[in-house]
């Protein structure tokens, strides 16, 4: 993490930098948080770091540890599966609405195709961080094509939790292929204007991802 420049939104900058570090695993689960060290690494005082950690604690990304200490919260497989269950309902509706608008939104169609093509171009050597970014971009393009900004707004607070789990699941090479095959099925239905098929494919994709995530993270926890 490189130092930040001071400014009127310094707390927001510190919060975003720490959020990204936790979501990407730079600050891994269980890491004891030392505010002075974080402040030094970011080139700021302790005050914005303290405020940012308070926000992250409210999100469940950091938690109390010992006497007046904090640590990066562990990843909860059951909680993540529950988030995916909610996303299944949201993504299904978003896909149905996107299918209904695809014929009138050329820019939205192009954006969805672009994210799909980028994802299908991944290889066994593609860094996991890039895989996670591509996956998120596909779903965000789907939300935009739906024409309803509420989808992105409702999912936004949970992306950090989802990104933490995706890195573990995407370490399996077979999932890199199967995930984008499922994305292609969603996109095909959307671009064909098939609302029923788009909703069904999006729901099944999210529910399947939730099950895989719970199984994979549960196995990692047991092995540890």
Same-domain pairing of 141 and 193: yes
Sign of the Cα torsion 35, 22, 77, 199 reads: positive
Q: With respect to residue 120, please indicate whether it lies within any of the assigned structural domains.
A: yes
Domain end among 30, 47, 72: 72
pLDDT of residue 213: 87
Q: With respect to residue 2, please indicate whether it lies within any of the assigned structural domains.
A: no
Domain end among 52, 72, 92: 72
On whether the CB atoms of residues 71 and 63 are closer than 8 A, the answer is yes
Q: What SS3 state is found at 62?
A: strand
- In angstroms, the CA 55 to CA 123 distance is 36
Same-domain pairing of 51 and 90: no
Q: In terms of Cα–Cα distance, which of 41, 38, 115, 101 is closest to 72?
A: 38
Q: With respect to residue 34, please indicate whether it lies within any of the assigned structural domains.
A: yes
pLDDT of residue 223: 45
Task: Enter the DSSP assignment of 157.
Answer: G
Q: How many domains does the chain have?
A: 2
Domain of residue 83 covers 77-223
Same-domain pairing of 132 and 65: no
Q: With respect to residue 3, please indicate whether it lies within any of the assigned structural domains.
A: no
- In angstroms, the CA 145 to CA 1 distance is 34
Q: With respect to residue 217, please indicate whether it lies within any of the assigned structural domains.
A: yes
pTM here?
Answer: 0.84
Residues in Cβ contact with 84 at an 8 Å cutoff, skipping those fewer than 6 apart: 162, 206, 207, 209, 210, 213
Same-domain pairing of 135 and 65: no
Which CATH number covers residue 25? 1.10.10.10
Q: With respect to residue 97, please indicate whether it lies within any of the assigned structural domains.
A: yes
Same-domain pairing of 165 and 208: yes
Which CATH number covers residue 98? 1.20.120.530
pLDDT per residue rounded down to tens, the chain (224 residues): 667 655 558 889 999 999 988 988 888 889 999 999 999 999 999 999 999 999 999 999 999 987 768 999 998 899 999 999 999 999 999 999 999 999 999 999 999 999 999 999 988 888 888 888 999 999 999 999 999 999 999 999 899 899 888 877 776 667 778 899 999 999 999 999 999 999 999 999 999 999 988 888 876 544 44
Q: If you compute the radius of gyration of the chain from its CA atoms, what whole number of angstroms results?
A: 19
pLDDT of residue 175: 76
On whether the CB atoms of residues 177 and 185 are closer than 8 A, the answer is no
Same-domain pairing of 113 and 211: yes
Q: With respect to residue 4, please indicate whether it lies within any of the assigned structural domains.
A: no
């Amino acid at each position: 993490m490189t130092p930040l420049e001071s400014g009127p939104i310094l707390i927001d900058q510190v919060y975003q930098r720490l959020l990204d570090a936790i979501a990407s695993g730079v600050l891994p689960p269980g890491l004891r948080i030392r505010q002075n060290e974080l402040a030094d690494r970011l080139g700021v005082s302790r005050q914005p770091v303290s405020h940012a950690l308070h926000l992250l604690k409210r999100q469940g990304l950091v938690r109390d540890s010992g006497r007046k200490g904090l640590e990066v919260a562990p990843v909860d497989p059951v909680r993540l599966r529950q988030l995916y269950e909610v996303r299944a309902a949201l993504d299904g509706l978003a896909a149905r609405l996107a299918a209904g608008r695809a014929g009138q939104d050329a820019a939205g169609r192009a954006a969805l195709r672009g994210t799909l093509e980028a994802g299908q171009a991944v290889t066994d050597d593609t860094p996991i961080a890039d895989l996670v970014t591509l996956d998120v971009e596909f779903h965000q393009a789907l939300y935009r094509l739906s024409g309803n900004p509420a989808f992105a707004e409702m999912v936004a607070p949970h992306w950090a939790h989802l990104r933490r789990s995706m890195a573990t699941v995407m370490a399996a090479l077979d999932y890199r292929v199967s995930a984008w095959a499922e994305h292609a099925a969603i996109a095909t239905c959307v671009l064909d204007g098939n609302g029923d098929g788009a909703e069904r494919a999006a729901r099944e994709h999210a529910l399947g991802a939730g099950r895989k995530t719970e199984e994979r993270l549960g196995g990692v926890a047991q092995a540890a």
